[in-house]
Amino acid sequence: MTAPSVEQLKHLLSETRNPHTYGLDQQDTLGLVTMINAEDQGVALAVQSQLPAIADAVDHIVTGFNAGGRLIYIGAGTSGRLGVLDAVECPPTFGVGHEQVIGLIAGGEKAMFIAQEGAEDDPKAGVADLDAQHISSKDVVVGIAASGRTPYVVGALEFAKQQGAVTIALSCNPNAAINAHADIAITPEVGPEALTGSTRMKSGTAQKLVLNLLTTAAMVKIGKCYQNLMVDVKATNQKLVTRSTLIVMEATGCDEATAVQALSHADGEVKVAIFMVLTGQDPHLARKHLEQAKGHLRDALAMTPQR
């Protein structure tokens, strides 16, 4: 893909000037942050307009997970960093392996901390980074690009489609180039940025909201949630140890001592501890019932008498 011309770039919605913020540099501090915040108000509504496409994407991700597949994000710059961020937070939040949700960024790990702006221009690099993951038809690949034309992402999505993976394009511009290589296009049109072209702002916020929806909804549907509680959370620090205790207490109505004892017997597995408290069964039987229910605590409880 050749470099965009000035004519092409200026017609991208995310690159156009915002008529509401021409006086951005003339505001006092409160006026400045108020003006930016006013632009942010429409981001959630832009995401709302894409909920049917997002739900479709979630269903494909769940199908992939149930078949042993993975969710792979790939992007450059802010878009890539947001994908990595969402991916690395899944293991402690949902108790999944680090290989189930993967974030790839143009320029590699160093690009998370120091901008590697030229890295996004190489479609072959996107192919190589994705090929290194040995993708298959069980996987879902989400290409993230605010502009919708990033060559690194275009190359990756084209390759993913050739491998039979489900492909999803996430951009903030209508008729984005990456849509041509995607089974599902998610396009929250947030409009011009308050600071022209700074897509780390509204576009980045919209992308973060969409990624939150994709992983959270998919994890809920594969049994990582009971009511609205994170019942597969991994207690990897003291805060999460306390949170695990609180989750058991909230789910069962038991006191702190009972929750702590149940978690001890359950080797820290929150879902197992909740099942034990509610049914009076031992950890072995709790795990057996949960396995039969494919990890869905509500379904396991529905099949088991409670005390």
Cα–Cα distance list, 54 to 169, 209, 225 (Å): 11, 11, 19
CA end-to-end span of the chain: 64
Q: And the tokens for 205?
A: 């916020």
- In whole angstroms, give the CA distance from residue 57 to residue 67: 15
Give the residue numbers annotated as catalytic, written as ranges.
Answer: 89, 120
Q: What phi, psi does 15 have (nearest 5°)? A: -105, -10
- In whole angstroms, give the CA distance from residue 288 to residue 294: 10
